[in-house]
A and B are shown apart, each in its own frame.
Chain A
Amino acid sequence: MDNLNSLLDGFAAILTPGNLLIALIGVTIGTAVGMLPGLGTAMAIALLLPITYGMEPTQAFIMFGGIFYGGMYGGSTTAILLNTPGQSSSVVTVLEGFKMAKNGRGGQALATAAIGSFVAGTIATIALVFVTPITVDFAIGLGAPEYLAIMVLALVATASVLGSSRIRGFASLLVGLVIGTIGIDAVTGQQRLTYGVPELANGIDIVVVAVGAFAVGEALWTAARRKNGKDEIVPVGRVWMGRSDWRRSWGPWLRGSALGFPFGAVPAGGAEVPTFLSYVTERRLSKHKGEFGNGAIEGVAGPEAANNASAAGTLVPMLALGLPCNATAAVMLAAFQTYGIQPGPLLFEKESALVWTLIAGLFVGNAMLLVLNMPLIPIWVKLLRIPKPYLFAGILFFASMGAYATSGQAFELYVLLALGLIGFGMRRFGIPMLPMIVGVILGPMAERQARMSLQLSGGELSGLVGGPVAWTVYGIIALIALWPLAALVRRRLTRDREAVAV
């Protein structure tokens, strides 16, 4: 009950005209940036993070709540209308969504995505209110070795579960970990990997990494393939849902939410698995199996709900353990740190008002999106018609502005470009970016926990492993690591020699 009271206080804090206006701005620019092709939710937050540097923490977090849901909402619109998933979690939405749009049912696809996102967002945020304090209670009993184990799990899982190629996932993760190591070592004060460059002593800001790899990388990628034809935008029509659309959508929404939230809440569960599971489930349960592959509304409603619910779910480990498991959470964690706030079990004690305002902000932003965007979708779609030169010039412009503002040094712009080139290479070679982003922020945290464990054990290496929780987590890691081996053995047994691609 305590929590509900705190939540009500959070709502009280947000329901002032000024704060509602901030939430509205957050929702609007979140949608706008999330909709830009090639950028996703994480990008929306990373690009917009610098503009909140001058704000009060409370207001900044109200804005984040809006940007968070707005960005997701914008991303699904682009996926449906442009046939380009802005992020891997939208891949499944594209399957049926774009087909629906082509059949002249784009309006219905967008409507079911929007309402489904609202339903899932609301359910998941309510679940967040109840699950996070439980997680906190559990987390308070954990020591440094347990944290280390959970962080290693998050790192290994993001690198190996997501995407199709483990080796590429691990390559990306290692690059992220190396970037995270750059700068002054927090314990001994020695400079690592700075090679005498004084500007590197403070390390590389996660915002610069995310903006560089995603936004600048995307701009360079577009530049390199400028002559490769145009994206086609399907006209939307009116955004509404008929009676049968409603009947066919509500089940997938609820099932999608139920699938998405737990996957999001588990470290490194991600949104890819639940969206895919939701799609498969809906295809199996549907009475309109024939429509799947040609634009079945269930195939949009379910995965979109799963996507939103899992995104809200990732806030559980982020807030309760200080553990970011996707790019969006990583950037949000960076935002917390900018304000000198460390997410983790103590967050709910120390910054209770702030956290509950953030959660209330999620509810408000979510509701605003539904009310505002359903009628405004045709206007939003005009954003997709901005000619590419202007679009990417604008992205470079804002990316540079944000990167410069992180430290007020032109040096950040060179780092930004370097990371843009890395991002470009990763796109070229099909290497997933998420492990790198998570590695940058989780790597140093894991190292700190490891050194703290050794400090507690007086240098005994056995101190790294700790109690039963840590053993369980390492068991799970072993399972994840050995899974492809088991699959390989099974394939060998069935004498299917062709599928070796790790």
Chain B
Amino acid sequence: MTSAENEAAQNGTAATEDVAVEETVDTETAPPKRDLQQLFVCGFLAVLGVLVIVDAARLGGFSASNDPIGPKPVPIILGILLFVVAGFYALNVLRGGHGEDEGANAGEKFDFTTVGLLCAVFVANALLIDWLGWVISGSLLFWGAAIVLGSRRYFLTLAAAVVLGLATFYGFAIGLGLGLPAGVLQGIL
């Protein structure tokens, strides 16, 4: 990023010195690939703005002597700012702006199947943790995540998962008093 900035600065000075150079610099850097997927971010910000304002409108606007403005103004200001930023963001995107390092690799292929599977494993843990307990659900989380991410040694991974589950339960829950559930293994562990 820094070297790019340097270059840009040098290009800038070069351009001021010589108009002819400016032309070439312009044509070199001119066609920025617009990454219109970024408009999703603007949409997200706008939706967030709506949610914030709708909720704020519901709040009782009463004010007391010890709290003259009440809880309402801050969310309303935030909501308005969200719209403003979403607008400028969209403008920036349409002019070809993009974020830091990641913008450069924006065109890469994304493997959304893996992301989806990983989320599924994660949600499974959230659903099962209170019933099965941390040792089982956590082990399943580790095992599932490792398999989804490309591990092919099913049994070794499972062994590692169980060891991790047991070690963290005994170490943190029993040793350090961390609130992890024992679940169906209550009384066995």
Contacts and interface: CB of A to CB of B under 8 A. Distances in A.
Given A188-B67, A192-B55, A455-B66, A429 B103 contact: yes
B108 A447 contact: no
Interface string A157-176: 00000011101101100110
A494 B109 CA distance: 40
Interface in A459-499: 459, 491, 494-499
Contact of B146 (A51, A188, A390, A498): A390
A163 B100 contact: yes
A190 B179 contact: no
B160 A390 contact: yes
Contacts, number: 254
B123 to A, nearest CB: 7
Given A181-B78, A390-B151, A405-B179, A164 B118 contact: no
B98 A430 contact: yes
B41 A431 contact: yes
A167 B88 contact: yes
Interface string B113-134: 0110011001101110110001
Interface in A392-420: 392-394, 396-398, 400-401, 404-405, 408, 410, 413-414, 417, 420
B102 A224 contact: no
A495 B16 CA distance: 8
Interface stretch (A128-136, A225-233, A354-362): A225-233
A338 to B, nearest CB: 13
Interface residues on chain A, size class: 35 or more
Interface in A145-161: none
A238 interface: no
B156 to A, nearest CB: 10
Interface string B6-49: 00100010011000001001100110000001101100110010
Contacts of B78: 174, 177-178, 181
A397 B172 contact: no
A405 B180 contact: yes
A143 interface: no
B68 interface: yes
Contacts of B12: 491, 494, 496, 499
A52 to B, nearest CB: 8
Interface in B125-153: 125-127, 129-130, 134, 138, 141-143, 145-151
A502 B97 contact: yes
A430 B100 contact: yes
B150 A192 contact: no
Nearest to A189: B71
Nearest to B52: A178
B172 A401 contact: yes
A220 B115 contact: yes
Contacts of B157: 389-390, 393
A255 interface: no
Contacts of B119: 220, 417, 421
B141 A397 contact: yes
Contacts of A424: 115
Contacts of B56: 192
Contacts of B89: 167-168, 171
Nearest to B74: A447
Max chain A CB contacts within 10 Å: which of B40, B85, B95?
A: B85
B87 to A, nearest CB: 10
A95 B2 contact: yes
A44 interface: no
B122 A413 contact: yes
A500 B149 contact: no
B182 interface: no
Contact of A410 (B37, B126, B147): B126
Contacts of B51: 193, 195
A54 interface: yes
15 contacts: A164-B99, A165-B97, A168-B89, A171-B85, A181-B52, A187-B70, A224-B112, A226-B149, A401-B180, A404-B179, A417-B119, A432-B100, A451-B68, A459-B68, A498-B29
Which 9 pairs of residues, A with B, have the shortest CB-CB distance? Answer: A430-B99, A54-B177, A459-B68, A413-B126, A389-B149, A393-B145, A393-B146, A389-B151, A430-B102
Given A216-B122, A397-B145, A498-B29, 14 more contacts: A50-B172, A168-B99, A181-B52, A188-B62, A193-B51, A220-B118, A223-B148, A393-B145, A408-B181, A410-B129, A417-B126, A432-B100, A454-B68, A459-B69
